[in-house]
Amino acid sequence: MLSERSSTFQLDENPLDLASARIYPGGEMADRIRAFPWETTALGAISGWSQTLLCMLNNLLESQFPTLILWDPEMVPLYNDACIPMLAEKHPLALGGTAHQAWSEAWKILEPKFRSVLEQGERLYFENELIPVLRNGVLTDLYWTYSYSPVRDTAGRICGIYIVAHDVTAKLTVERERDAVAANLKNVLESTTDGLVVLDNQGRYTYVNHQAASIVSLKPADMLGKSQWELFPHTAQTEFGRQYQEAVDTGKPRHFVSFYPEPLNAWIESHCYPSAHGVSVYFRDVTEQKQAERELRDREERFRVLADSLPQLIWMTDRRGDNIYCNQRYFEYLGVTEADRTGIQWLDLVHPDDLASTLTIWNHAVETGEPYLNEFRLRQKNGMFRYLLARAIPIRDDHGEIERWIGSLTDIHDQKLAEDALRKSEKLATAGRLAASIAHEINNPLESVTNSLYLALQDGNLGAETRMYLELAEQELLRVAHITTQTLRFHRQSISPASTDICDIVDSVIALFRGRLDSKDIRVEAECERGSIAICFADEIRQVIANIVGNALDAMPQGGKLRLRVKRNRGWAHDRPHGVKIVVADSGHGIPPAVMDRIFEPFVSTKEATGIGLGLWVTEGIVRKHGGSIRVRSQAGSRHSGTVFKIFIPSTSLLK
């Protein structure tokens, strides 16, 4: 069946020269074939090769495509340079051997095909066929596209197999990955809720997913290959047509939401992405989204109207406490605009004395999610602090996490003042009742002692020194009697006012304090304009002057100067009525600024444990009751310290 190998050469000829004369192409495989000892193989020396073999071999070596022939019944491989990468580690061992030796691992697959060509003359072609072969000593799945053709001699007899083969494993891998990506992409595009269409440069649909066709009430087959203007001619003059054309003309993406009229009657959100080949358009029906936005805006507007109509300060923060909303009352209170809302740090406006407790309570609410409740002072736009009651509750998301806080601030300043006034009033009433009771109990034995002293002083046999001591005791008892009388009057007012010369009252007060003035080495300068008449409760005005003089003496423990002045004058009010002006000035240690702000409040005192803080509160009340006014200025902590009280009492009765 195979042609005979017939040819001889002279023994004196060089075999390589003869081979060179019969094998013409250059290259690695041509050189190897010419140099190989073929006489040791079934093919014999090159000089004995048939013209058919040599012709096929020369053609094979000239080819740039991986080509080989299997010659002789032993199927000896001969291949070209293009086959070397395909053979891998089988090169160059395959040269001169047999096909069985070269591809033993795949022989069960290959042998039947080789035999059908050699013995039956079949022509075979296989595309992308799996034939495992050894690669780096490991059996590896490789895919091949190849053809087997019989090689015939001039007599038509089959001499061998002509094989053209190509390893397509890498190509198939890329194609399969591409197909997988394409399939996944198609699945994504078909499963997405967004509509997707691709149009070429003429506006014809080249791709339409099912969602896109469904949105416009068509099928993909109804749209493919057709122009958008053909299917939807009325959209050319709508926002969709304008935005689409803008994307095509500028080459820039366009994103917009617009109402699509008949036949959709829906709000559509669209994204146009132009390319060199046309435009890709993603779109979806957002009608329910738009309705939800409208409802949300309506709810927010209703909330805003309600919040702005309330007298409370309504606020909202994020979960950390940063401000995200305030009602109009809040802005008015702070004196800022809505544009400044994000810059408002509410903790900066809290009174320093309330800041620590406010932070503690707020942080506890944030950490636990419990409602927030607190009272603190907040600074107004005028710089004044007022008491506010803060309430807030957390707003949680679907997972139960706090996403924001909403709360209110209620002004309770006046209520706090009223409560404080009520407490002080109750405290004062109690103190008044207690003082009156004590004064009453003291008054009875005091009268007995006074009477006893009076009787003792009637004794003409008293020594001068004894009489001096008894008279001094009598003066001090008179002072104690005055104090008890004033204490009782603190609880019980006089019956009616009378015309009184204020200078007489001042004289009596100086006389009352003469002993203390002398013992403390305090110099007294009194300037009284006689005839300074006022309609008043004389005992109450005496109490006013006595309270101020007593405080002055306490402020000068090491001695000093006390000035008293009384003169007719006009008041400080706009109508300036006639009256009497009383000035009491001392050179004492002065009143601290912190106390000055509250000097006329009850239970405020600079005497620590020795004072109850009622004197000036009572003093201010008496002056106000008489329709007068009282002013004070003081300087503390310097060389020229001291305090000055100025009192004005109207001449005519303005008792309230």
**How confident is the model over 563-610, as pLDDT tens digits?**
999 998 876 555 567 899 999 999 988 888 888 888 888 777 766 545
6 part of a folded domain: no
Helices (H) and strands (E) in the chain, counts: 21, 24
- Percent of the chain at pLDDT above 90? 30
pLDDT(22) > 70: yes
Residue 12 clears pLDDT 50, i.e. is over it: no
- Please check whether residue 213 lies inside any domain of the structure: yes
Percent of the chain residues topping a pLDDT of 70: 81
Contacts of 412 (CB under 8 A, 6+ apart): 375, 387, 388, 389
- Assess whether 440 and 474 both reside in one domain: yes
Long-range contacts for 264-273 (Cβ within 8 Å, ≥24 apart)?
A: 264/215, 264/216, 264/217, 268/215, 268/240, 270/240, 270/243, 272/243, 272/244, 272/247, 273/247
3-state secondary structure of 600: coil
Residue 15 has pLDDT above 50, yes or no: no
Residues in the chain: 656
Residues 241 and 307 in one domain: no
Residue 279, domain member (yes or no):
yes
Angle at 610 between CA 555 and CA 521, to 5 degrees: 35
User: Domain ends where: 243, 268, 285?
Assistant: 285
Tally of structural domains, the chain = 5
Strand-strand pairing, 522-528 and 560-570: parallel
Q: In this structure, what token pair is assigned to residue 173?
A: 């891998």
Q: Same structural domain for residues 107 and 38?
A: yes
What's the whole-model pTM score? 0.37
Q: At which of 285, 309, 341 does a domain end? A: 285
In 10 A of CB 279, how many CB atoms? 22
Q: Which two tokens stand for residue 460?
A: 């003409």
Contact between residue 162 and residue 150 where contact means Cβ atoms under 8 Å apart: yes
3-state class (DSSP) for residue 4: coil
What CATH code is carried by the domain that includes residue 297?
Answer: 3.30.450.20
CATH of the domain at 593: 3.30.565.10
What pLDDT is recorded for position 578? Answer: 86
Q: Return the half-sphere exposure (C-beta side, CA atoms, 13 A cut-off) of residue 243.
A: 19
**Same-domain check for residues 310 and 281:** no
Point out the domain boundary residue: 438, 470, 492: 492
Residues 250 and 373 in one domain: no
- pLDDT at position 328 is 77
Residue 278 belongs to some domain of the structure: yes
Verify that 581 and 643 share a domain, yes or no: yes
Average pLDDT over residues 247-257: 84
Name the residue range of residue 570's domain.
Answer: 496-650
Most confident of 299-303, 325-329, 385-389, 465-469: 385-389
CA count, 13 A, side-chain hemisphere, 215: 23
Give the max Cα distance, the chain.
Answer: 190
Side-by-side strand order, sheet with 323-326: 323-326, 313-318, 402-411, 385-396, 372-379
pLDDT on residue 314: 83
Q: Are residues 272 and 342 in the same domain?
A: no
Asked if residue 174 is part of any domain, the answer here is no
As given in the structure block, the two tokens for residue 3 are 């042609």
- 8 A C-beta contact, residue 368 and residue 392: no
185 found inside a domain: no
pLDDT tens by residue, 473-532: 777 777 677 666 655 555 555 567 889 999 999 998 888 788 788 878 889 999 999 999
Q: Is residue 396 part of a domain?
A: yes
| Of the listed ranges 66-70, 215-219, 396-400, 497-501, the one predicted with least confidence | 215-219
How is residue 583 annotated by DSSP? E
pLDDT in tens, 73-130: 999 999 999 999 989 999 999 998 999 999 999 999 999 999 999 999 999 999 999 9
Beta strands in 555-652 (DSSP E): 560-570, 578-586, 629-635, 642-650
Name which of 500, 501, 449 is nearest 475 in CA terms.
449
Does 178 reside within a domain?
no
Question: Mean pLDDT, the chain, as a whole number?
Answer: 81
Enclosing H/E stretch for 434: helix 413-457
For residue 607, which of 592, 618, 621, 593 has the smallest C-alpha distance? 592
Q: Are residues 19 and 57 in the same domain?
A: yes
- Assess whether 573 and 621 both reside in one domain: yes
Q: Give the DSSP letter of residue 371.
A: P
State whether 37 and 66 are in the same domain: yes
Which of 98-102, 107-111, 197-201, 441-445 is predicted least confidently?
441-445
- Confidence grade of residue 444 (pLDDT, cut at 50, 70, 90): low
Question: What are 646's two structure tokens?
Answer: 């100025």
| In a shared domain, residues 279 and 322 | no
Per-residue pLDDT, 647: 94
Name residues whose C-beta falls within 8 Å of residue 593's C-beta, 6 or more positions apart in sequence.
Answer: 636
pLDDT for residue 330:
80
**What mean pLDDT is predicted for residues 130-159?**
92
Contact (CB, 8 A) for 327 and 336: no
Residues 385, 398 within the same domain: yes
